[in-house]
Structure 1
């Protein structure tokens, strides 16, 4: 890893490119009427993905960048679930046909904060309004500290096929600094419960760049995770943006590793996982050789969406819940972020859409290029542009940032194909950003590129 490249590009604040355009481009110009029209015109028979946001936790993890609310009481959760059910029925009523479902994802917050009975009821409601099949995949994000045997059984009974467990770090010093105390035993017990319930896909989330984190503690955490044999691991860099997430102010900034240390942590985690037999997927995911993600990457079918790298190839994502984002061929629609405002909209009989974005043809070209770069570390600009009847010179000609990256040896451009050096995949977001037409127009703070 070249020190000069890291020094030049590592501190850049860039999007993670789980969508394009990114969320800062969303505006109130797209609202309930536009989203309602998009729903009404969804093609019959086309599979859709569903995302359900459960924005509640029992305690705040200080590193968290998600939209969540802390509650010790069950009443706010139960009230929210009532609203969520209303929204599911309301949205389904606007879709002319009972559409097949490819993937379902429960995110949070902590989706398993709800009771097992409530989870089963939600799944039953979705099956009532949408067409599930034996191939429908259902994934749930889980905090291992609160997963009961009863909930694990309910997840299995509901047909959940993948569970994503938050681990972050097993170092007790780091855990104290981020207000998340979680033992290896708790994590192992949750993993065993899920497998006993018939849930075959187990993901672990790890984070580097946390306060007081060291190379040694990263290796120890990765090694402990490997011993539990998860099928996949996602390894994210901590994004410290206290102006955006005020609870991050509880973290002592002087205890955070610098860019060089962050990169070394990412490197040793990757090396530890690869040495244990995991394949690296894209920028920050790892999977065992037989996993669908590996097969998708080898076949050039890997995708990237709001949940990260995925095999989900549905063109439509319908988002339910406060802050949830939906994606259609025409654009993006995001619900009200605050649970109270979200509930008010649904109670009034209106969709909860607060803002969104209508895609242009050029957006589609740039989105595909960025997705291929993030997934494959290369993109055939000429072929992608040809499919859209778009002139490649509009993207390659005069692209000074791309040319600079080429001069720095990070990539090469030949015959209309951009290829990123294997040694420089850690700055792939900087490459993707050269095709982002809106990046300089956003005042939003992003995470570090490395």
Structure 2
């Protein structure tokens, strides 16, 4: 039996997105640059690696944004920043025992395409010259269609980019005005056409529900308009309203924000339309065409989750470049200085800019595995995962008690050691995953609603 009151109650909880475990609020300056130097030096030469490059610049501020970014109309700050990135790539290369084998590269932001086309070509060339970027590596970039130029589109194709994620969020004019992001369907279509003509076949769209003045009907209309452009994937996120931490969000009229029930209806309606259109529902909030590598990875139990969301990336290390960038090595997580000035000062002085991090324990690694499998597969065999890590399930007794409570409310099914999220409760998979979070406690206020 479905307990709708319980569903509604859990939907209003504030929980991590679990793109990492432990989550970033647990990072501290007790783990910093000296540790990062040792971790890089200890990286086994055969380790396959992913690279993330953070470009923290935009031409205008979208009021819903939760990213680390800076608004600039000038090109000089961006050009200077790219010079620092080039220097950081050199520094990291000096610390690793052998050139890294790279299978995934992701440019995020901000808006990475604020870089000048020639500077982007040079940056990718530097990566290829410094590391072994394998043939067929996925090279992805996040794009604001409103500022994408024809020259940049050509540069992306020539530099070997294989995937582009386009921010759409909503095509509803009323919503766009409320979030300070006016973007037409025609503008988006032109960007898609240009990217495909340049040879970039992987096209992702990002959508957001729970925005001010957004309705279920307007969400459905946006999805239908997007479907006409035939993207390969969709990422569908709930708006996280945290004006205490993101001051520009104070410009959003809170009276216009949908409540918990409305957010649930919007998320469900979007999912229903996409599934009816033939897309596979991947994990919590991604959708992909049946032949897409993401859909195949889920079907084969190979789906992973990292800071960019759901991924096929199974590399043993992720190295972050740029201000605020986060990486993960076998020993733990490391984040660069957030402030642009402090980041640049460290790098130009010949020092790594790692400012805070987290050293993983065996218990953390076990719980991260359990959480990732739940987030990716909507199911986990607790005994099997514990056996793989050589840890007895008795250490998870509190989590199992909470899971039994969720089972009583129809949110999960328990069959021996196997936990399965009920079909109707897929939107609450973060709630289920949180039962294995040993650190959640009072930090819930930092996170977004579960739905």
What is the TM-score when the length of structure 2 is the normalising length?
Answer: 0.98
TM alignment of 1:211-226, pairs within 5 A: 211-226=212-227
1-side partners of 2:413 and 2:398: how far apart?
Answer: 14
Deviation at 1:407, TM superposition (A): 1.3
1:211 counterpart SS class: coil
Q: What is the deviation of 1:46?
A: 1.7
Structure 1 residues 375, 398: CA separation in 2 closer, same or farther (over 3 Å shift)? closer
What is residue 28 of structure 1 aligned with on the other side? 29
CA deviation after TM superposition for structure 1 residue 398, in Å: 6.5
- Structure 1 SS opposite 2:108: strand
Conserved? CA contact 1:6–1:260, under 8 Å:
no
Q: CA deviation at 1:417?
A: 1.1
Which residue number in structure 2 is paired with residue 208 of structure 1?
209
Q: In the comparison of the two structures, how many residue pairs are matched?
A: 450
Distance (whole Å) between structure 2 residues aligned to residue 404 and residue 61 of structure 1: 40
Structure 2 Cα separation of the partners of residues 304 and 327 of structure 1: 12
CA distance in 1 between partners of 2:283 and 2:345 (Å): 40
Distance 1:311 1:200 in 2: 17
- Cα drift, residue 314 of structure 1: 0.4
Give the aligned partner of residue 69 of structure 1.
Answer: 70
* 2:110 equivalent in structure 1: 109
CA distance in 2, matches of 1:252, 1:398: 38
Counterparts of residues 60-209 of structure 1 (less than 5 Å): 60-209=61-210
2: CA distance, partners of 1:277 / 1:307: 24
Q: Which runs of 5+ in 2 are unaligned?
A: none
Look up the match of 2:349: 348
For the pair 1:283 / 2:277, whether they are aligned, the reply is no
The residue that corresponds to 1:274 in the other structure is 275
Residue in 2 that maps onto 1:359: 360
- 1:245 paired residue number: 246
1:310 maps to what in 2? 311
| 2:331 is equivalent to residue 330 of structure 1 | yes
For residue 442 of structure 1, report the CA deviation from its aligned partner.
2.7
Partner SS for 1:132 = strand
**Cα separation, partners in 2 of 1:398 and 1:260, compared to 1, 3 Å:** closer
Counterpart residue number, 2:407: 406
Q: 1:31 to 1:298 in 2, by over 3 A?
A: same
Once superposed, what is the RMSD of the aligned Cα atoms? 1.1
Q: SS where residue 102 of structure 1 aligns?
A: strand
Work out the CA distance in 1 between the residues paired with 2:274 and 2:427.
16
3-state DSSP class of the match of 1:228?
A: coil
1:173–1:212 Cα contact (<8 Å) kept: yes
Which residue of structure 2 aligns with residue 254 of structure 1?
A: 255
Q: 5+ unaligned residues in a row in structure 1: which ranges?
A: none
Q: What CA distance in whole angstroms lies between the structure 2 residues aligned with 1:398 and 1:358? A: 22
Distance (Å, rounded) in 2 between the aligned partners of 1:236 and 1:443? 18
CA distance in 1, matches of 2:78, 2:164: 21
Change (3 A) 1:443 1:429: closer
C-alpha displacement at 1:400, in angstroms? 3.4
Q: Which residue number in structure 2 is paired with residue 394 of structure 1?
A: 395
Q: Equivalents in 1 of 2:122, 2:445: separation in Å?
A: 38
SS in 2 for 1:434: helix
Are 1:40 and 1:94, in contact at CA under 8 Å, matched by a contact in 2? yes
CA–CA separation in structure 2 for the residues paired with 1:149 and 1:75 = 21
Shift of 1:247: 0.3
Deviation at 1:6, TM superposition (A): 2.6
Q: Secondary structure at the match of 2:136?
A: coil
Whole-angstrom CA distance in 2 between matches of 1:413 and 1:275: 29
Q: Alignment partner of 1:385: what SS? A: helix
Tell me the equivalent position of 2:371: 370
CA distance in 1: counterparts of 2:46 and 2:404, whole angstroms:
44
SS of equivalent to 1:327: strand
Whether contact under 8 Å (2:319, 2:326) holds in the other structure is: yes
- Deviation larger for 398-407 or 263-272: 398-407
1:370-396, Cα deviation, whole Å (9 max, x unpaired): 000000111111011001110112113
